[in-house]
Structure 1
Amino acid sequence: MSRVPLKTPLLMAVTLLAGAAAGYWFAIQKPSSTVALDAPEASAGGRQPLYWYDPMFPQQKFDRPGKSPFMDMQLVPRYAEDLAEAGAVRIEPDIRQNLGVRLATVTRGKLQHNIQATGSLAFDARDVALVQARASGFVERTYALAPGDRVAAGAPLADLLIPEWAAAQEEFLALRRSGDPALVAAARQRLQLLGMPGTLIERVERRGKTAQVMTLTSPIGGVIRELDVRPGMALSAGQTLARINGIGRVWLEVAIPEAQAGSLKLGQRVEARLPALPGEVIQGVLSALLPEADPQSRTLRVRIELDNGAGRMRPGMTAEVRLNQQGLGDALLLPSEAVIRTGKRALVMLAEENGGFRPVEVQLGQESDGQTAVLAGLQAGQRVVASGQFLIDSEASLRGIEARTLDEARAEPAQPALHEAQATVLDIGESQLTISHGPFKTLGMPGMTMTFPLARPELAEGLKAGDRIRVKVRESESGLLIEQLQKLESAP
């Protein structure tokens, strides 16, 4: 049997002792995903921070305060309440993708409020003439007319025989021959009191003989709506014989949802398009907002006046109208599809930066073209769920998560906090800005040259290298984000 050399067991013993020492050293170390620094400081305000971080590199966490190893600035503490997830639903990214969850950002802008609706044409009820018998008599003759026919002003409608007028005309002519002006004036006044038109009196005076038959004419041009005369029929004083409607102007009556009718104003311009007149845009004026709403459709009727000088528009035709409203300036906007309407209130699912979702009550304003104005409950830059929000809302209901009310939203401090500095634009990217900025005093960050992402690409519109700006940034999970900026006047 071969002998084992003495140096082999000694070597093995040394190796075991070294391994045990290394294992003991690792065992006594406290596991942490953070990086330790050698400059401990007491926490401020009595609150215990979870960790410290550099706002430019928030993904890197430190378990002690001190100076950032990346930049010449002090680390910022992160407290437990900053990461609280109470009242939120958390969904893993892969599950969100499978559910088709899509996010939208709450932005500031102008809401172009244009109302599209369909209505029908009607006669102008103000342009109406009633033709009546001024005295008792008989219909001697009628003309070839019927309801619906168009007539011109002065067109004959019927010939009437009024015996009472014949005797008064004889008396008038006799007194006229006497030459007494007072008696002639009295006889003329009697003819007027009997209802004789002034034109007929002038004709009798001019011709010097009585007019046995009076021709009834249309006082205006338009369409005969009613015609009640027949040859030989007896007439009584005040009897309506015809009703004529003018067509120089027509009314367009439109039903507008009551939620949109509040922004309408009398006198505003309206565009109308008729299927009967393809390719033509007819300008009109909003003339009346009728005082009664339809309780079934919850709509208000409005009246629009359209010029119909050519007579091509006929009552009963349909028309599509567009009411152009002035945009609401500086309004918070979100996609209308993101709103959950419960009947009592409106909710949205707010996406938090830590990956959670929670229901939030919002107060809504006007809606147009798929955008809705938010009056309270949200802030610019926040993200809401635009697709799949009903699934998340159902999960929140199952977990008993209550929506944040408007009163709670008003009581909360404005978030996120903005940090301001002046800067010079060095380079403009697609969604980022390279600037040389002064110190962000509220962050404890000194002035330097850095590239910041933009919250919205349109923030960089109109900027060029060398422009002086006032920039406001906020902290996000990916670093500092330019939320607002203002171009400053160049120094003379």
Structure 2
Amino acid sequence: MSRTNKVITIIVLAVLIGSGAWYFFAPSHTMSMTADMHHGGADHDSSEQRNVLYWHDPMVPGQRFDKPGPSPFMDMQLVPVYADDSDTSEGVSISAQTQQNLGIRTTVVRMGEISKEAVVQGNVVWNEHAIDVISARATGFIERLYVRAAMEAVKQGQALAEIYVPDWIAVQEEYLLTRDLGGEIGQQLKSGALLRMRVAGMTDSQIAEVVRDGKVHARVTIRAPRSGVLSELNVRAGETVSLGMPLFRISGLNPIWLEANVPESLISSLNLGDTVEVMTVARKNQRYPGKVALLPPEIDQVTRAQRVRIELANPRAELLPGMFASLVIKQNSVADALLVPTEAIITTGSRKIVFTVNDDGKFNPNTITAGLESDTETEVLSGLSAGQNVVTSGQFLVDSEASLKGVMSRMQESAP
């Protein structure tokens, strides 16, 4: 067979094989396409039977579209939201595992007392009404000194020093010589001797001691008139003292004072004799009761504040002069208020939202009206009721989940 005949034979066989393949496979392919078209049409018909509310981008759930198409925010198609989807108005469902991962905690809405407080900084100072200065009543010599240094604690009646007073010897001896004299002249001499002892600087108790014992007392023991701190010590043993010389200064610690500059805006919240509270960092913010002791009729022209004095009981000397302390001023108070932790509230512009937990475990956003607010709690005027469980930790993540599922947008639509 020639070369030309072989080529022709191969071409003819190829055409026959191709024709046969088309004959056997083309009908089934056509039927498959037809079936696929019918199947796709069924799916389309099924989709059309579901009522589409709107289309949205799951990454930006707040924005809605009335027809399908590409998302203007992300490189993806818009997703339809159907009317027969699960009813999100009943809340957001979050699995227990997810709640644990998010660290979600809840607490119960309760009834209780709340007050609005203002805090003003101040300083603990000495109580000037509890300061005693002990001076020499006559010229003499310090024979014994029982206290050694300033700022030592002393108790009422404690001996501080013993002073020898030579000038008292003569007047006491004069009295002892005249006390047994009778008659009118004797009484006059005795009265004059008693008067001269008093003029010499002797106290009534010291004079009574001489009269009782019938002997000269040239030494006098000086004792502390109150309990407190020896804030000044001006003498040493063996030193000569003169009439009127300051020897000791004793400052009491109970009660003690707090002075604070109260701004003009808070002055109306204080009245003389009002009960207030004071706390200090040095005592781990423990609160001490006190009362308003002075509201001076003056406002500082620079600070625009009034220098208020608070008197505090200090039996254990826990408050010391020089300490920084805070004056707590209660402005308003509600005895029976509906309270939630302040951390449970999400503020979005002019609205405040709290997430509650239903009996079925779903989370619901609730718009509330807030009243008084303290450091840890807030009064709820409307939007909640006592006994409800509210989310106090992880509520921002719950809020994000609610936004993804459209709960927040539904709530905004229903809001007036």
TM-score (norm 1): 0.43
- Residue 135 of structure 1 aligns to a residue whose secondary structure is coil
* Structure 2 counterpart of 1:309, one-letter code: P
Q: Deviations over 1:130-158 (max 9, x none)?
A: 10111222222222332111111121222
Q: Which has the higher helix share?
A: 2
Q: What is the deviation of 1:112?
A: 5.8
Do the aligned partners of residues 174 and 247 (structure 1) sit closer, same or farther apart at CA in structure 2, a change above 3 Å counting?
Answer: same
Aligned equivalents of 1:188, 1:213: Cα separation in 2 = 18
Q: Deviations over 1:181-231 (max 9, x none)?
A: 443233212211221012211222222211121112211111111111123
Do the aligned partners of residues 459 and 230 (structure 1) sit closer, same or farther apart at CA in structure 2, a change above 3 Å counting?
Answer: closer
Aligned equivalents of 1:222, 1:208: Cα separation in 2 = 35
Q: What is the deviation of 1:242?
A: 1.2
1:435-446 paired onto structure 2 within 5 Å: none
- Out of 165, 173, 189, the residue aligned to residue 176 of structure 2 is 173
Q: Deviations over 1:30-88 (max 9, x none)?
A: xxxxxxxxxxxxxxxxxxxxxxxxxxxxxxxxxxxxxxxxxxxxxxxxxxxxxxxxxxx
1:117-132 paired onto structure 2 within 5 Å: 117-132=120-135
2:255 is the alignment partner of 1:249: yes
2:155 is the alignment partner of 1:149: no
- Residue 313 of structure 1 aligns to a residue whose secondary structure is coil
Q: Higher relative contact order at CA 8 Å, sep ≥6: structure 1 or structure 2?
A: 2
Contact 1:256/1:300, CA 8 A, preserved across alignment:
yes
2:190 is the alignment partner of 1:184: yes
Instruction: Provide the residue aligned with 1:57 in structure 2.
Output: none
Aligned equivalents of 2:180, 2:381: Cα separation in 1 = 96
Do the aligned partners of residues 386 and 142 (structure 1) sit closer, same or farther apart at CA in structure 2, a change above 3 Å counting?
Answer: same
* Structure 1 counterpart of 2:308, one-letter code: V
Contact 1:158/1:229, CA 8 A, preserved across alignment:
no
Gaps of 5+ in 1: 1-93, 95-110, 329-368, 370-384, 388-429, 432-455, 462-477, 482-492
- Residue 259 of structure 1 aligns to a residue whose secondary structure is helix
- Residue 286 of structure 2 aligns to a residue whose secondary structure is coil
Aligned equivalents of 2:309, 2:262: Cα separation in 1 = 11
TM-score (norm 2): 0.51
Aligned equivalents of 1:192, 1:134: Cα separation in 2 = 10
Instruction: Provide the residue aligned with 1:289 in structure 2.
Output: 295
2:314 is the alignment partner of 1:308: yes
Q: Deviations over 1:440-474 (max 9, x none)?
A: xxxxxxxxxxxxxxxx984999xxxxxxxxxxxxx
Larger radius of gyration: 2
* Structure 2 counterpart of 1:222, one-letter code: G
Aligned equivalents of 1:131, 1:306: Cα separation in 2 = 25
* Structure 2 counterpart of 1:132, one-letter code: S
**Number of aligned pairs?**
239
Contact 1:142/1:157, CA 8 A, preserved across alignment:
yes
Q: Deviations over 1:302-329 (max 9, x none)?
A: 111110122222112222231113469x
Instruction: Provide the residue aligned with 1:452 in structure 2.
Output: none
Gaps of 5+ in 2: 1-62, 64-113, 335-341, 343-348, 352-365, 368-379, 386-412
* Structure 2 counterpart of 1:252, one-letter code: L
CA RMSD across the alignment: 3.6
- Out of 224, 229, 233, the residue aligned to residue 235 of structure 2 is 229
Contact 1:269/1:324, CA 8 A, preserved across alignment:
no
Instruction: Provide the residue aligned with 2:266 in structure 1.
Output: 260
Do the aligned partners of residues 222 and 457 (structure 1) sit closer, same or farther apart at CA in structure 2, a change above 3 Å counting?
Answer: closer
Contact 1:269/1:285, CA 8 A, preserved across alignment:
yes
- Residue 193 of structure 2 aligns to a residue whose secondary structure is helix
- Out of 167, 170, 174, the residue aligned to residue 164 of structure 1 is 167
Contact 1:118/1:320, CA 8 A, preserved across alignment:
yes
* Structure 1 counterpart of 2:123, one-letter code: S
Q: Deviations over 1:293-349 (max 9, x none)?
A: 444433322111110122222112222231113469xxxxxxxxxxxxxxxxxxxxx
Instruction: Provide the residue aligned with 1:208 in structure 2.
Output: 214
Instruction: Provide the residue aligned with 1:411 in structure 2.
Output: none
* Structure 1 counterpart of 2:205, one-letter code: T
Aligned equivalents of 1:203, 1:268: Cα separation in 2 = 47
Contact 2:269/2:329, CA 8 A, preserved across alignment:
no
